[in-house]
A and B are shown apart, each in its own frame.
Chain A
Amino acid sequence: DVKVTQSSRYLVKRTGEKVFLECVQDMDHENMFWYRQDPGLGLRLIYFSYDVKMKEKGDIPEGYSVSREKKERFSLILESASTNQTSMYLCASTPGRLSGEQYFGPGTRLTVT
């Protein structure tokens, strides 16, 4: 079974802090994704990566950056956390270059105070 893990289930950070959210998948998937999920807004794509060191902006990249140094690991970075970045963050991965099934991690609920 594909396993996608995220570094924390719950995280509380202060405004202005640099925040790292990490995601690891164990099935050698090429593509990895970061979403945020907010009530009434559904899932929105922040960034995705289709190969090591490659990244592309999603629909809402402002205030975020990403890093993919190894194929299995995709990190989301909040350079200077703000209260409007309080959200549920979901990581996903998928093999190949077509829009097939995405495998999701359990999510990280981030609160910025």
Chain B
Amino acid sequence: SQQGEEDPQALSIQEGENATMNCSYKTSINNLQWYRQNSGRGLVHLILIRSNEREKHSGRLRVTLDTSKKSSSLLITASRAADTASYFCATDKGAGSYQLTFGKGTKLSVIP
């Protein structure tokens, strides 16, 4: 069963705009991660946020985590055409687990 579910399924924005993607999950987690996948390629890790953190930044990426609502958001600021990709959230199964469960992804298109 899917642990993380991203929203929206697809997002199209102009270059320079901000893009926000959301992820909801069902059970307690140890951490939540975001990955990017360019078309037909493997996934690349973007950022990991632990359950005791509320916000984390990495370059143009900002991730928030609300464990009371079991949700996370990924914000990409000042988007570029090169940000066009699918974005996935991944959650573990709690402390001691090393398996990840991936959502179905948000397909982001950044129009030059």
A residues sitting closer than 8 Å to B (CB atoms) are 4, 31, 33, 35, 40-43, 45, 48, 50, 58-59, 88, 90, 92, 94, 96-107, 109
Contacts and interface: CB of A to CB of B under 8 A. Distances in A.
Contacts of A58: 99
Interface of B: 1-2, 30-31, 33, 35, 40-45, 48, 88, 90, 92-93, 96-105
A50 B98 contact: yes
18 contacts: A31-B98, A42-B2, A42-B104, A58-B99, A88-B40, A90-B43, A96-B98, A97-B96, A99-B31, A99-B92, A99-B99, A99-B100, A101-B48, A102-B100, A104-B35, A104-B43, A104-B44, A107-B42
Given A43-B88, A99-B98, A90 B105 contact: no
A109 B35 CA distance: 20
A109 B42 CA distance: 11
Interface centre among A43, A96, A106, A109 (most CB of B within 10 A): A43
Given A100-B48, A101-B33, A41 B40 contact: no
A88 B105 CA distance: 15
Given A99-B31, A99-B92, A45 B42 contact: no
A43 B33 CA distance: 14
Nearest to A94: B98
Contact of A42 (B92, B93, B97, B105): B105
A107 B41 contact: yes
A102 B88 contact: no
A40 B98 contact: no
A4 B1 CA distance: 27
B48 A45 contact: no
Contacts of A42: 2, 88, 102-105
Kindly list the 5 A-B residue pairs having the minimum CB-CB distance in the complex, ordered from nearest.
Answer: A99-B92, A104-B42, A42-B104, A43-B102, A101-B45
Contacts of B43: 43, 90, 92, 102, 104
